[in-house]
């Protein structure tokens, strides 16, 4: 649900900071931040996709835009991703959500716009739910979701796997999934699938308690555009805008896609 997108060497972006938030089992997570020069709107938080990292094309472009516009911007790598500690195959939706919530609460101040790409879209909605339960919905100014892969471990992965792959996961505890985004396959673990079922959202109404803008490519092979429509239906209690991009792929990293993304962010507040 994304995959490696790094386009810029880590050195060019400057060295990351490291922090071990709650939910990371003591693992040091890498992060980078643009501090606001003056208040010019809500801060922005990047939530990347499955096996992606904070040096992706979209995250880099948001970082540059934030610098030019005086906006605060936080990005980080989940455990097992990018420059953070930990093994990818030990990660779950729950731990990556807990890490995201802890990083946001510790490293940002005031209202934030969560920009979630693919799996990051699911995590953004889970963070929104957690903030609601904590009585902190005022920390969200809005969500911008790019090809949001809500419930992907179940609906877009497990239910669509061939019987042989499911059998391998049940028997061996993992299956190596070929991907067009990297030369090596991704390990899909039984733990990822089973733990993911604790965080499924489509069984009930979904609330973000803030404006939501969804960007979805109609040529996306990983997250069908009908999945975005399903999310809109479940977000009945919140203001939602959906932009369908007829020739858009999963990553939406072309110049015109980046322009749409930055416009969506700037229009929230």
Annotation marks residue 250 as catalytic: yes
Q: What is the residue-wise DSSP string for 204-247? A: S----SS-EEEEEETT-SSS-HHHHHHHHHH-TTS-EEEEEETT
Annotation marks residue 199 as catalytic: no
Annotation marks residue 81 as catalytic: no
Structure tokens that stand for 268 in this block: 């929230």
Report the residue count for the chain.
269
User: Count of CB atoms within 10 A of residue 172's CB?
Assistant: 11
159 to 6, 67, 195: CA distances (angstroms): 29, 42, 15
The answer to whether 98 and 23 have CB atoms below 8 angstroms apart is yes
Q: Exactly one of 2, 53, 98, 220 is catalytic; name it.
A: 220
- Pick from 105, 107, 96: nearest CA to 24: 96
Q: Exactly one of 53, 250, 253, 257 is catalytic; name it.
A: 250
Give the ranges where the chain is alpha helix by DSSP (H): 10-13, 57-69, 93-107, 119-133, 152, 163-172, 190-196, 225-234, 255-268
Q: Exactly one of 24, 100, 117, 118 is catalytic; name it.
A: 118
Catalytic positions are 118, 220, 250
């Amino acid at each position: 649900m994304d995959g490696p997108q790094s386009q810029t060497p880590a050195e060019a972006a400057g060295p990351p900071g490291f922090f071990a938030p709650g939910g990371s089992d003591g693992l040091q997570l890498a992060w980078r931040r643009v501090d606001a020069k003056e208040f010019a709107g809500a801060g922005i938080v990047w939530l990347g996709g499955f096996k992606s990292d904070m040096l992706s094309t979209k995250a880099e472009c948001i970082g540059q835009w934030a610098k030019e516009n005086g906006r605060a911007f936080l990005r980080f790598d989940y455990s097992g991703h990018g420059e953070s500690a930990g093994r990818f195959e030990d990660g779950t939706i729950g731990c990556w959500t807990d890490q995201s919530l802890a990083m946001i609460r510790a490293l940002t101040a005031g209202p934030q716009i969560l920009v979630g790409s693919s799996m990051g879209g699911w995590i953004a909605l889970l963070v929104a739910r957690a903030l609601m339960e904590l009585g902190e919905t005022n920390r969200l100014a809005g969500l911008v979701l790019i090809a949001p892969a809500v419930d992907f471990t179940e609906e877009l992965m497990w239910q669509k796997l061939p019987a042989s792959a499911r059998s391998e996961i049940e028997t061996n505890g993992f299956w190596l999934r070929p991907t067009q985004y990297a030369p090596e396959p991704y390990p899909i673990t039984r733990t990822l699938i089973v733990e993911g079922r604790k965080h499924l959202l489509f069984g009930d109404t979904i609330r973000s308690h803030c404006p939501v803008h969804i960007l979805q490519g109609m040529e996306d092979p990983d997250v069908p555009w009908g999945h975005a429509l399903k999310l809109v239906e479940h977000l009945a209690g919140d203001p939602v805008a959906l932009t369908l991009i007829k020739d858009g792929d999963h990553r939406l990293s072309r110049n015109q896609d980046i322009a749409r993304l930055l416009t969506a962010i700037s229009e929230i507040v």
